[in-house]
Amino acid sequence: MQATGKHPSQNQLADLYGAHHGWLHAWLRKKLGCTHLAADLSHDTFLRLLVKQELVVMQEPRAFLLTVAQRVLSNYWRREKIERAYELTLLQIPEATAPSPEERAILIETLLTIDQLLDGLPLAVKRAFLYSQLDGLGHAQIGELLGVSITTVKRYLVRAGTQCYFASSPD
């Protein structure tokens, strides 16, 4: 694969789609056990190629599509996990105080964004950040929960904050 520096043309993507969509859909259907979800994720895979800023010349288009599809599938599983955890949390609060469907959608998108921003950090760093930002805990409380010193908590928070800042900054 090499980048040519040009935006992919519709004809090139249409050719790639026509030649490999059926194969990709079948692969995803086998992985997911659902033809409708496989259709959604196969289209998401091609959509990722459509919005890329560079055309990628592929010697092995199926291997390339498989790599992109695996990322799409991974993001799907991550989203499902977050949504399930959120729904379980909602079951623990009184129905009268539960957020509206619109608020739920916004909260889930926010949780997904936070998850992406913190991706790659060690679990302890993520937990320190979430305890601080979502639960409003102080350094001493976080240190006690994680079994680390206040200095380590501060270091964790700086690391997480730095990652969030640079991950969200325009290039």
Look at residue 87 in the predicted model and tell me its pLDDT.
Answer: 86
Look at residue 169 in the predicted model and tell me its pLDDT.
Answer: 59
Domain ranges for the chain: 2-83, 96-168
- pTM > 0.75: yes or no: no
Look at residue 95 in the predicted model and tell me its pLDDT.
Answer: 81
- Angle formed at CA 119 by CA 140 and CA 68, multiple of 5 degrees: 170
Place of tokens 């800023």: 53
Look at residue 165 in the predicted model and tell me its pLDDT.
Answer: 84
> How far, CA to CA in Å, does 10 sit from each of 49, 51, 98, 113, 145?
11, 11, 45, 30, 53
Maximum pairwise Cα distance, the chain = 59
Look at residue 91 in the predicted model and tell me its pLDDT.
Answer: 85
Look at residue 128 in the predicted model and tell me its pLDDT.
Answer: 96
C-alpha 140/C-alpha 120 separation (Å) is 25
pLDDT tens-place values along the chain, 171 residues long: 444 444 556 778 888 899 999 999 999 999 999 999 999 999 999 998 888 755 566 688 899 899 999 999 998 998 899 888 888 888 888 888 888 889 989 988 888 888 888 888 999 999 999 999 888 999 999 999 999 999 999 999 999 999 988 876 555
The fold of the 96-168 domain, in CATH, is Arc Repressor Mutant, subunit A (1.10.10)
C-alpha 43/C-alpha 64 separation (Å) is 15
Look at residue 3 in the predicted model and tell me its pLDDT.
Answer: 43
C-alpha 8/C-alpha 50 separation (Å) is 7
